[in-house]
Amino acid sequence: MERRLANWGNYPAISCDESTFSQEDQVQDFISAHSSVIARGNGRCYGDASLAKHSVSTLKYDKVLAFDTTNGVFECQSGITLDQILDIIVPKGWFLPVTPGTKFITIGGAVASDVHGKNHHVDGSFSRHIIEMDVITGNKETITCSAEKEPDLFWATCGGMGLTGIITRVKFGLKKIGTAYIRQKQIKAKNLEDLIRLFEEYSAYTYSMAWIDCLQKGDAFGRGILIVGEHATPEELNEQQRKAPLELGQKRKLSMPFNLPSFTLNTLTVKAFNWLYYLKNTKREINNVIPYEPFFYPLDAILHWNRGYGKAGFVQYQFVLPLEKKEGLVAILKRISDAGLGSFLAVLKVFGKQNDLISFPMEGYTLALDFPVRKGLFEFLDQLDEIVLQYGGRLYLTKDARMKQEVFWQSYPNAQKFADIIKTYNGDKLFRSVQSDRLLLTQ
Amino acid sequence: MPTVLILGAGSDMAVAIARQFAGNKYDIQLAARNVSALSALEQDLRIRYQVQASSYAFDATDFNSHGAFYNSLTAKPDITIAVFGYLGSQEKGQTDWQEASRILHTNYTGAVSVLNIVAEDYASRGTGTIVGISSVAGERGRQSNYLYGSAKAGFTAYLSGLRNRLFHKGVHVLSVQPGFVYTRMTENLKLPPLLTAQPQDVATDIYKAVKAKKNVIYTKWFWRYIMLIIKSIPEFIFKKLKL
C-alpha cells in the first residue's frame, strides 16, 4: 500500500509502499517480485538511508532464536528492537556490547549502521561483537558471514546501509553486568579546551560523552558537561536498589502528541534551553548511581521527540575529525555559533581506533548536532562539509539526508572498494535507497 | 502452568496472542500447517517468557486429521484459540470454486470440525475456554467480501450456539469480532488508520476478555457501534451501496 514515509528526521518524506514479512520465504517472494527494494527497520535513521519506492519492513521478523546465559551470546532475527533485547538480557545479568543513544532501533539497523556508543573508545562499534550473521544478497541466496567467513560481504554489510542485501539473522556477544545501574559522574567544563582536557583525563571510564552549548562565544566558547559512567556493582547500590539489582521499575513515558510549530525553535529558545541545561548542574562535579535507561537513552523518555522540530523536519549533522585536527572542531563550532544556528543537544564524543571498510567511526572527535530544516540550511551545511573535508573527516551515513555525492566519495577512503563489493553481491542494484542513489552508489 | 493452544499460529495476530499469553505465564502450543515455520516463534516464546512452547502440524481444511491432531497434544490445553482464517479473493471466488471452497472451508467448516473435538473434550471434563476469532465481516454480507463474510457469519453463529450449550457444562466460549487489523492478510488493503487495530491491541483485548469471562467482544471496541449502524441500514438502501 502506498503511503508517505519518512525516517526520524521527518526529512525527506517520500511516497513508498512498504511490505512486511515474518518468514524468510515471504521476503524471498517479495524481492523476487520487485526490481528494487531496501530493508527498513524501525525508521530511526534520520535521513533517507532506508527510504525507497519499495521497502521491506523487518519489524515482524523479530524472533529471539537463542540466548546463552552462561557465555552471553544472543542470536535473533533482524527486526527485533534493542529495547526488547534489553528486557530479556538485563534481568539475566547481561547488557548490549554497544548501544547508540536510542533503544528503539532494530538489530538489523544496528548492523547496517554499525552503530557506536559512549564506549567506542573501549569497545569499538557494534560490528566488533558480531559472531556471525545471515544476509540475503542480490541473487536471493542467504549467505552466512563473519569477519572470517565471507569477510568482504561481512565488512560491506557492517555500516553498509543495507546495500549488500537484507540482514536476516545476527548472532552477537553481550557484556556482563552486575546491576542494571550506572555509576555516573558529570563534570562541568567552562570551555572547549577544558572539555577536551577532561575527556583525556577521564578516558579510563568505559562510557563517556559530552554535551556542548554551541551558542557560546569568547571565554565560554564550547562550554559543556562531560558525562562518564561505569556499570555499577551491587555494593554501589543503595538499599532500595540492592533488593533487585537487575530489575528496573516500569516508568511512564511522555509523548510529543503533535508537531510543534517551527517558530518554537529559534536562537532564543535554544539559548534559554542550553543556559538552563548548563546551570542545572550547580556543582562542578556530580556523582550518582542511576538506572541504565536515563544514562543511555535520555531522549527515549519522550516518545516522538522529533516532532519538536515541526512539520518541516530536521537533519542531524554528525561528523568525525581525526584526533590531531582539534582546530577543525573549533572552526566548525565557530561557524555554527556565528550563524546563530544553535542545536539543543550538541553531543561530543571521542572515538577510539577503528578503520573499517565503510563504517563511520575513526579515531578522533565526533560531534552530532540537530538543525531544523529551513531556508538556507542546506547551503550552510555544504559549507560545513567543506571544513570537514579540509580536516580529513567524514559524515555519518545514518544521519545523512543531504550530503552531495562528491563529499561522500572524497571523505570515505574505501568508497570505491565498497562500491565494488556491492557490485559483487548486488550487481543488479536490487537493493537501493534514495540515499544510495543520491551518493551514486547504485546509480 | 496453564496451557493455551493456538490454532493457526503462523499469522501476525497469532504471534501477538501467543506472546500476550506467554507474557502472563501460560505455556503455549502452536499449531499451523507449516510446522517448520513455527520453530523460531517457539524459541522466541521460551527465551522471552521462560514458558514451555511446542509446535504441531495442523491443517484446518484436512478435517479427517483433526481428531488425531488433538489426541497428539502432549497436554490438553486449558484454553483453545482458533485464530486461523483465509481472506482469499472475493472476485476470484465468484467464478473459481476452488478459491470459494477454500474460503468457506478454512473459515467455517474447518473451524467447526476442530472445535467440535475440543468442545467434546472440554464438556466431558467440565472445564476449559474456547476462543473463536470471527470477524465483523460476518455481521452483514457486502459485495466486496461476502464469501469470507458468510463463512465468518456461520462461525459466529456456531460460537454463539456452542456458548449456549457449553455454559451448562462449565465451559466458557468467547467470540471475538475484530474490525480492521494491520496484518499481512490486509497489507494490500487501504485501511483507515483511526479504525484499524494493531495485532497487539487484539491480543490484549482477548487476554482481558478471557480473564473477565466475556461472551462477545469487538476489537477495537467501537466496532460494536459501527456494526450496529451498518446492520440498521434498511436492505433497500444497503443493496444500492458500494461496500
CB contact under 8 A, A64 and B190: no
User: Which amino acid type is present at position A284?
Assistant: R
- Residue B190: which of A1, A65, A67 has the nearest Cβ? A1
List B49, B56, B70, B148, catalytic entry: B148
Interface mutation target, options B15, B19, B47, B186, chain A, most CBs of A under 10 Å? B47
| More reliable by pLDDT, A18 or B26 | B26
Q: Is B148 a catalytic residue?
A: yes
- Residue A64: which of B47, B187, B189 has the nearest Cβ? B47
Confidence of residue A65 (pLDDT cuts 50, 70, 90): very high
Where along chain A do its domains lie? 182-403
CB contact B50 to A (< 8 Å)? no
Q: What is the pLDDT of residue A311?
A: 86
A87: distance to nearest CA of chain B, Å? Answer: 8
CB contact under 8 A, A60 and B12: yes
pTM of the model: 0.94
Per-residue pLDDT reduced to its tens digit, A243-293: 999 988 766 667 777 777 766 666 677 777 777 778 788 888 999 999 999
**CA dihedral (B146, B151, B152, B156) positive or negative:** positive
CB B60 within 8 A of CB B8: yes
CB contact under 8 A, B47 and A22: no
Please determine, for residue A1, whether its predicted confidence score (pLDDT) is greater than 70: no
CB contact under 8 A, A88 and B41: no
What's the CA gap between A32 and B188, in Å, rounded? 17
* B41 interaction partners in chain A (CB closer than 8 Å): 63
Report the Cα–Cα distance between both ends of chain B, in Å, rounded.
46
Q: What 8-state DSSP symbol labels residue B197?
A: B
CATH code of the region A182-403: 3.30.70.2520
Distance set, CA B141 to CA A362, A382, B152 (Å): 63, 60, 10
CB contact B198 to A (< 8 Å)? no
* B48 interaction partners in chain A (CB closer than 8 Å): 64, 84, 87-88
Q: What is the pLDDT of residue A248?
A: 82
For residue B243, tell me if it sits in a domain.
no
Please enumerate in sequence order all residues whose Cβ is within 8 A of that of A4, keeping only pairs 6 or more positions apart, or say none.
A13, A14, A15, A16
- Residue B48: which of A21, A23, A88 has the nearest Cβ? A88
Distance set, CA A294 to CA A152, A229, A251, A290, A348 (Å): 37, 12, 11, 7, 18
Per-residue pLDDT reduced to its tens digit, A208-220: 999 998 888 889 8
* A64 interaction partners in chain B (CB closer than 8 Å): 43-44, 47-48
A167: distance to nearest CA of chain B, Å? Answer: 16
- Among chain A residues, the shortest Cα distance to B44 is held by A64
Please determine, for residue A116, whether its predicted confidence score (pLDDT) is greater than 90: yes
For residue B26, tell me if it sits in a domain.
yes
Per-residue pLDDT reduced to its tens digit, A179-188: 999 999 999 9
For residue B21, tell me if it sits in a domain.
yes
Q: What is the pLDDT of residue A417?
A: 97
- Among chain A residues, the shortest Cα distance to B9 is held by A22
* A19 interaction partners in chain B (CB closer than 8 Å): 187
Q: What is the pLDDT of residue A274?
A: 77
Residue contacts between A and B (CB atoms, under 8 Å): 39
| Structural domains of chain B, count | 1
Neighbours of A70 (CB within 10 A): 6
Q: What is the pLDDT of residue A250?
A: 65
Q: Which residues are B177's β-sheet partners?
A: B218
Q: What is the pLDDT of residue B160?
A: 98
- Among chain B residues, the shortest Cα distance to A90 is held by B48
Confidence of residue A339 (pLDDT cuts 50, 70, 90): confident
| Average pLDDT of the residues in A390-397 | 98
Interface mutation target, options A15, A27, A64, chain B, most CBs of B under 10 Å? A64
Per-residue pLDDT reduced to its tens digit, A222-248: 899 999 999 999 999 999 999 999 988
B127: distance to nearest CA of chain A, Å? Answer: 33
What's the CA gap between A235 and B54, in Å, rounded? 41
Of the candidates A346, A396, A313, A438, the one whose C-alpha atom is nearest the C-alpha of residue A7 is A313
Query: Would you call A241 helix, strand, or coil by DSSP?
Result: helix
| Range name among A268-277, A302-311, A316-325 with the lowest pLDDT average | A268-277
- Residue B184: which of A22, A66, A77 has the nearest Cβ? A22
B82-109 burial, b for 16+ CB within 10 Å, e for fewer? bbbbbbbebeebeeeeebbebbbbbbbb
B215: distance to nearest CA of chain A, Å? Answer: 30
CB A165 within 8 A of CB A138: yes
Phi, psi of A261 (to 5 degrees): -60, 145
CB contact B51 to A (< 8 Å)? no
- Among chain A residues, the shortest Cα distance to B183 is held by A20
- Residue B187: which of A1, A63, A67 has the nearest Cβ? A1
CATH number at residue B210: 3.40.50.720
Q: Which domain holds residue B96?
A: 3-238
Cell 544476509 found at? A135
Mean per-residue pLDDT of chain A: 93
Percent of chain A with pLDDT over 70: 96
Q: What is the pLDDT of residue A199?
A: 95
- Note down pLDDT in tens along chain B; length 243 residues: 899 999 999 999 999 999 999 999 999 999 999 999 999 999 999 999 999 999 999 999 999 999 999 999 999 999 999 999 999 999 999 999 999 999 999 999 999 999 999 999 999 999 999 999 999 999 999 999 999 999 999 999 999 999 999 999 999 999 999 999 998 888 878 888 889 999 999 999 999 999 999 999 999 999 999 999 999 999 999 999 988
Per-residue pLDDT reduced to its tens digit, A19-43: 999 999 999 999 999 999 999 999 9
Please determine, for residue A165, whether its predicted confidence score (pLDDT) is greater than 90: yes
The interface predicted TM-score of the complex, written ipTM, equals 0.91
